[in-house]
Structures are given as structure tokens and as C-alpha cells.
Amino acid sequence: MSRLHITKTPKCYVGGAFIRSESGRVTELNDASGAFFANIPQCTRKDLRNAVEAAAKAGPGWAKRSAFNRGQILYRLTEMMEARGVELADSITLSGVSKAEASREVAAAIERVVHYAGWTDKYEQVLGSVNPVASAHFNFTVTEPMGIVGILAPDDAPVLGLLSLILPAITTGNSVVALASTMQPYPSILLGEMLATSDLPGGVVNLLTGVRSELIPTFATHEHLRALSGVANAEERKALRLGAAESVKRVHLRKAEEPIDWFADKMQGAEEIRALVEFKTTWHPVGG
């Protein structure tokens, strides 16, 4: 007897729940052979606004977790990814890349999560400092998370690229609203399902799918976003910088025109973390 063919409705992971766009719009996604694969939600600026609200709710609690606990939770994410690694790799092959290439990306992505899971209780020692001053003060600099970070994922490397941008932000206690690759959105849907089961509090990472040109103006102008990180072309960078200047947010963008080797070691580490923290310097009087 033939079984009923069950097709999946991909949904975005926002605020710890799986949503379709409030607009009800979808984009048809085809697999490598050109056959219909699934309807991907086409999120709107209102979905972005709702995601920011969710991130705002979750952020303070996430930042208050101990550094050690944030590390544990990130490590838990690798366990979830490891278990569904084959499915995740298959989702990357939808775009036509080879199975071997896709598996290599998933393996690198899992290692990247482990990398940042290790950083959670170590970046403060590297980025913070005790500063010499010429008066009777104890002067020290510590980091604080910025708040909500908007992420614009690259079109390629739909898992590794997206995670390489999200991880340094959440390592320090930021929360994130990310727009996944427009060309290859499906892996981000799976990633959302893994995040949901990883002990990461709902709302810390919010993943949207949709059309970049529709959402970039809102990313640029939304006052509640404190920083923008990601990959953008010249025109997008201009729009983002203009909006960011108006709403005073930090911009940390890579050029889409230049090839990016997401596998490289320099795509991870303390400098990526540094780009998305605020520094607070305190003067504390000592002695008499």
C-alpha cells in the first residue's frame, strides 16, 4: 500500500515559537533538479518588528545567565546539530552543492559552535582590562552585551555563514534577529528546530526568511536594534549605514562583492566577539 506523501510547511523560529509570516506570503523553493520543494515564509517588516519584541523580552534573561551556563547551552546546540547532521547537510544540497561539500560545511558549523561555547567564560579576560591611571583609582574596563543585534546572512554558506554571524553575538548575552540566506533559506528553518531543542531560551535567536530588499530598510531604521552584523552589497551597505546613523547603531558589515572563506580560522574568535560588545570603564577610588 502506498503511503500518503507528507510535505513539510517550513516555519520561522521567532520568540521560541514557529511562525508563518503575518502576511501569509510565501516563496516557492525548488530543489537542485528544479522540482518544487517547499513554500518558504516571506517575512515582512511587521514580522521583523515582532521578532525584535521577542528578542527584547529574552535578552536580559540571557545576558544574566552565567557565562558557564551560556557555554553549556551552546554546547547543547552542537548535540542537537550532530543528531540531525545528515538532514542539515541534505538541506544544503538543495542548492546543488555536492553531498561531500555540504557535510563539510555542517561539520565546520558544529565546530564553530563548540568554539564559541568555549569562549563564553573566556572573552571577558581577553577583552576586559585593568588600566594604569595616574591617580588613586582602580580603573578597569569590562564588556557588556549591546542588546539586540540584527544579522544579515550571506547568500552562500547557509549554515556556516549564518552561525558564524549569530554565535559571536549571543556568546556575550546579546539577542539576535537574523535574516537567513534568501537563496538558500531552508537550512535556517532546520537550524531553528535545533535551536528550539537546545535549551537556548526562546527569543534569544530569531530567524526570519524573506526578501532582503523588503527588510533591509527596517533593519536599518529600527531604533531598538543596537547593532547590525552581516554581509551586504554596496547599495545595501549604504542604506544600512544611513539608517544606522539616524538611529545610532553599530554596523559591522562584510562586502558581498568579495568572496568570503567562512571556513577560515579568522572568521571566528575574540575579534568577532569584540565587534558586538560595549565597553564600560569604571573608576574606583582606592586608599586614603
Partner 1 sequence: MPAAVKAPASLRRLFDEIGTVDHVGIEERVVKYTTRSIKKKSKVFGLRLAVSMVDLTTLEGKDTPGKVASLCQKALTPHDTGGIPSTAAVCVYPAMVKHAKKHVAGTKVKVASVATAFPSGQAPLKTRLAEVRAAVNDGADEIDMVINRGAFLSGEFGLMQDEIAAVVEACGVARLKVILEVSELETYHNIRAASFLAMRVIRPNDFIKTSTGKTSSNATLGNNQVMLEAIRDHFLATGVPIAMKPAGGIRTAKQALHFLIAVKETLGDEWLNNRRYRFGASALLNDLVRQLEKERTGAYQAPWNFSEATEGY
Report, in Å, the least distance between residue 222 CB and partner 1: 5
Cβ distance to partner 1 smaller for residue 56 or 114: 56
Cβ distance to partner 1 smaller for residue 209 or 218: 218
Report, in Å, the least distance between residue 216 CB and partner 1: 13
Report, in Å, the least distance between residue 207 CB and partner 1: 19
Cβ distance to partner 1 smaller for residue 52 or 180: 52
Report, in Å, the least distance between residue 237 CB and partner 1: 19
Report, in Å, the least distance between residue 254 CB and partner 1: 25
What's the one-letter identity of residue 174? N
Give 78's DSSP letter: H
CA distance 284 to 109: 42
Cβ distance to partner 1 smaller for residue 40 or 52: 52
Rg of the chain over Cα atoms, rounded to whole angstroms, equals 20
Cβ distance to partner 1 smaller for residue 224 or 250: 224
> Please, are residues 178 and 165 in contact by the beta-carbon 8 Å criterion?
yes
Report, in Å, the least distance between residue 238 CB and partner 1: 17
The answer to whether the Cα torsion of 10, 13, 15, 21 is positive or negative is: negative
> Please, are residues 167 and 176 in contact by the beta-carbon 8 Å criterion?
no
CA distance 133 to 135: 6
Name the residues that contact partner 1, by CB under 8 A. 45, 49, 52, 56, 218, 221-224, 243, 246-247
What's the one-letter identity of residue 241? R
Q: Which three cell numbers stand for residue 174?
A: 546579546
CA distance 205 to 218: 18
Q: Which three cell numbers stand for residue 45?
A: 517588516
Strands 225-232 and 148-152: parallel
Q: Which three cell numbers stand for residue 126?
A: 581577553
Cβ distance to partner 1 smaller for residue 246 or 271: 246
